[in-house]
Structure 1
Amino acid sequence: MSKVQELRALHRGRLPGDPLVLPGPWDAASARVFVEAGFPALATPSAGVAASLGYADGATPADEMFAAVARIVRAVDVPVSADVEGGYGIPPKELVERLLETGAVGCNLEDSDGGGVLKDPRAHADWLAEVRHAAADRLFVNARIDTFDSGDTDPKQAAEQAIERAALYVAAGADCVYPIGAPASVLPLLRSGIQGPINVHGTVTEGPSPAELGELGATRITFGPGLQRRAAQALRGIAARLK
């Protein structure tokens, strides 16, 4: 079984309360820690990788992001999905080629621009369809939906917008959708209105556990830069004691 097949299989048949938990490595060392802990796949966070490279979130040059992903993939033997933000303005065919060159077998693609403005959902769906056509079955595509972060401030209305966008993105070939920032209270609504796997943002120290999020409808849990930030916080404590 290829690694992309492994990643797809990990999303299938998940029972409520048993979502796929994908830690987010920011470099090769952290990736090895997560694999040694027994996680079957990983999903890089663009903000965490940016911090490791000395950039603000959203400011990492594409070449450096792809190089960082390649180092992470090279360090482990499990499937790796790469957060490549909005695709850096790279045409779909080239974007797919560059992702595959890193060894990644999945990608996270968002539907807002760098300034937090939502893209036209139909135009974005057309773009996702081009990505899917170029990738065929070689990439697991996770379509991030930013209605909770960049759209309506009312959770229910943001959820309804997310459901509408999800339908377009799934029809375009997305394997999974990611309504980032969705509060736990609307997860049952999202689950009832969305076909296929749903990615939910988990927290490291507080809030619902992965199992609780799974009970509410999450298929998989990722953490964005939360793990990298928690590690940096721990390192600050060590540094303070050394001083």
Structure 2
Amino acid sequence: MSFRELHAADQPLLLPNAWDVGSAIAFAEAGFEAVGTTSFGVNASTGRPDSDGASREATLALVALITALPVYISADIEDGFSDDASEVADLVAGLGVAGVNLEDSAGGHLVDPAIPAAKIAAIKKVAPEVFVNARVDSYWFHEEATVNAVRDRAKAYADAGADGVFVPGAADPATLEQLAASIPLPLNVLVVPGLSLTELGELGVRRVSTGSLPYRVAIDAAVGVATAVRDGREVPAATSYAESQQRLIDFSQRTHR
């Protein structure tokens, strides 16, 4: 099944988001057919806050490695790391990924939808096979956070050639149902606590991303292990060193073929 076809399956595509090679390998080993990256997690792994363009080099380095995995890779490229549509298109064409996320905000605010639309059109011209997931940040930044406003932005991106629409921050079931009905492309949302994949699918959602959630949970778990040892509590079980090492050996062999 192609990456595009995964968005039309019986249940929404669950896309786990990796922040380093180890997490990407683990997601692939767990049987996920596609793995995304997370700008927050990638930035955090290098000690930087999640801000405009900060993840560029780390993201490009990560993607260059994990595209060797036998899964589809979707890269979070923020706003494309450039205001120049042709530069964004050339960047995407050289990534070797199945998909990208391209957001319509900068500096914590929405931008004129013509700007991301131009980038989408440029990408589709040079890399038509790449699934462009256009991110609408209206609910994320609480600007123009209405179904109609999001629909209008989504239409502009669909007209430019986008393949999907990502609306992070939208979580109310009625809102999700209205968005799915009004947007002519597969709707992607973040994990919604209390709503299963099946329930989200019934609302019309076609893709669910974990975003930075796995990274943040992993950090909490790491602290929990250390405090458990310190406080004399039982230490949770984990994947063995031998298995973790073998995963990296296998990955290294794959990348050096």
Query: What does residue 124 of structure 2 align with?
Result: 132
- Runs of at least 5 residues in structure 1 that lack an aligned partner in the other structure: none
Helix, strand or coil for the counterpart of 1:168?
A: helix
TM-score scaled by length of structure 1: 0.87
Query: What does residue 95 of structure 1 align with?
Result: 88
- 1:90 CA displacement: 5.8
- 1:61 CA displacement: 4.5
Question: Once the two structures are superposed, what CA deviation does each residue of 1:183-216 show, in whole Å capped at 9, x if it has no partner?
Answer: 233011111111021101114xx33122221111
Contact 1:93 1:134 in 2 (8 A): no
The count of residues paired between Structure 1 and Structure 2 equals: 228
- 1:35 CA displacement: 1.3
4+ long deviations beyond 4 Å = none
Query: What does residue 19 of structure 1 align with?
Result: 12
- Of 64, 71, 94, the residue aligned with 1:70 is 64
Contact 1:184 1:213 in 2 (8 A): no
- 1:136 CA displacement: 2.2
Aligned counterparts of 2:24 and 2:123: Cα–Cα separation in 1: 26
- 1:64 CA displacement: 2.3
Helix, strand or coil for the counterpart of 1:141?
A: strand
Q: 1:91 to 1:158 in 2, by over 3 A?
A: same
Aligned counterparts of 1:127 and 1:68: Cα–Cα separation in 2: 22
Q: Does 1:53 find its partner at 2:46?
A: yes
- 1:98 CA displacement: 3.1
- Cα RMSD for the two superposed structures: 1.9
- 1:41 CA displacement: 0.7
TM-score scaled by length of structure 2: 0.82
Which of the pair is proportionally richer in helix?
1
- Runs of at least 5 residues in structure 2 that lack an aligned partner in the other structure: 231-257
Structure with larger RCO (C-alpha < 8 A, sep 6+): 1
- Of 71, 74, 86, the residue aligned with 2:79 is 86
Query: What does residue 208 of structure 1 align with?
Result: 195
Amino acid at match of 2:73: V
Matches within 5 A, 1:106-145: 106-113=99-106, 115-137=107-129, 139-145=130-136
Aligned counterparts of 1:43 and 1:61: Cα–Cα separation in 2: 14
- 1:87 CA displacement: 1.1
Query: What does residue 198 of structure 1 align with?
Result: 187
Amino acid at match of 1:124: P
Identity value in percent:
39
Higher radius of gyration, 1 or 2:
2
Contact 1:22 1:41 in 2 (8 A): yes
- 1:174 CA displacement: 0.3
